[in-house]
Amino acid sequence: MRILAIHPILEREGYDELTRKILSKVAFQGTEIDVVSLERGPASIESAYDEALAVPEVLKIVVKAERQGYDAVVILCMGDPGVAPARELVEIPVVGPCQASLTIASTLGERCSILTILREAVPTFWRLARRYGFEGHLASVRSIEIPVLKLWDDRDAVFRALAREGRLAIEEDGADVLILGCTGMMDLGERLQQQLGVPVVDPALAALKYAELLVSLNLSHRRVALSEG
């Protein structure tokens, strides 16, 4: 199985390769992962506007990916940019980390919290949870107040902030599952889970595995016309 993971941003030095390594650690034998970034588009996605600029480029890559024989596409951004239109263009599964994470979280507990980056993103996650039908499972959205572009600078600071907000989500908001609110927090879920003792869903990994699941079940979002009876 071949899966293409797309960073809907301009490539940052070595980030595609780093991502490929992290995703490959959880992939099944036989899954081949490629990671690409955009050649044109935003440097990071911190708003719906950044997403809007990225989407047409993402769509080109998705269409090309299907032609190149990829079995599924994963779009590595918690806003799931381009997932809906991409599903109309190709027959292979297109997976967004936000929907995959909320979906999985709903099966691990009763109330989840999303730990996002900046306060401005809080309403966006309420909107996405509502859109996917998981509003009733969302106990809270908390922010760590570290900008996207600094997520990789001081990984320990990011972890400490996640641990702090995650603990508050559990103790004050009644969360029993946590979701990392940015694909740039990739690879911190496991450690956070060990420290806090509740399941922590890592959206980039969740999206990859969810794509594998759909491919091997031969399920996709195609909407074919009814064949004759």
Positions in 114-173 near a second copy (CB under 8 A): 120, 122-123, 126-127, 130-137, 140-141, 167, 170-171
Binding to a second copy by CB under 8 A, coded x per residue (else -) over 42-81, reads: -----xxx-xxx-xx--x----------------------
Of 66 and 202, the one with the shorter C-beta distance to a second copy is 202
Site string for a second copy, 187-216 (x = CB under 8 A): ---x--x-xxxxx-xx--xx--xx-xxx-x
To the nearest whole angstrom, how small is the minimum distance from the Cβ of residue 135 to a second copy?
6
Q: From its phi and psi, is residue 159 left (phi > 0), alpha (psi between -120 and 50) or beta?
A: alpha
Closer Cβ to a second copy, 12 or 131, answer by number: 131
Q: How many residues bind a second copy (CB under 8 A)?
A: 80
- Which residue type, as a one-letter code, is found at position 80? D
Work out which of 19, 71, 78, 87 binds a second copy, going by CB under 8 A. 87
Contacting range for a second copy; rule: CB under 8 A; set: 67-75, 100-108, 151-159, 178-186: 100-108
The three-point CA angle 5-83-98 to 5° equals 80
Using CB under 8 A as the binding rule, whether residue 227 contacts a second copy is answered as: yes
Site string for a second copy, 29-48 (x = CB under 8 A): xx----------------xx
The only residue of 99, 113, 116, 183 in contact with a second copy, by rule CB under 8 A: 99
From 17, 21, 32, 84, residue interacting with a second copy (rule: CB under 8 A): 84
User: Which residue in 13, 67, 156, 226 binds a second copy (CB under 8 A)?
Assistant: 226
Of the residues 19, 37, 44, 106, which one makes contact with a second copy according to CB under 8 A:
106
* Least distance from a second copy to the Cβ atom of residue 154, Å: 20
HEC secondary structure over the chain: CEEEEEEEEECCCCHHHHHHHHHHHHCCCCCEEEEEEECCCCCCCCCHHHHHHHHHHHHHHHHHHHHCCCCEEEECCCCCCCHHHHHHHCCCCEECHHHHHHHHHHHHCCCEEEEECCHHHHHHHHHHHHHHCCHHHEEEEEECCCCHHHCCCCHHHHHHHHHHHHHHHHHHHCCCEEEECCHHHCCCHHHHHHHHCCCEECHHHHHHHHHHHHHHCCCCCCCCCCCCC
Closest of 209, 207, 175 to residue 192, by C-alpha: 175
18 binds a second copy (CB under 8 A): no
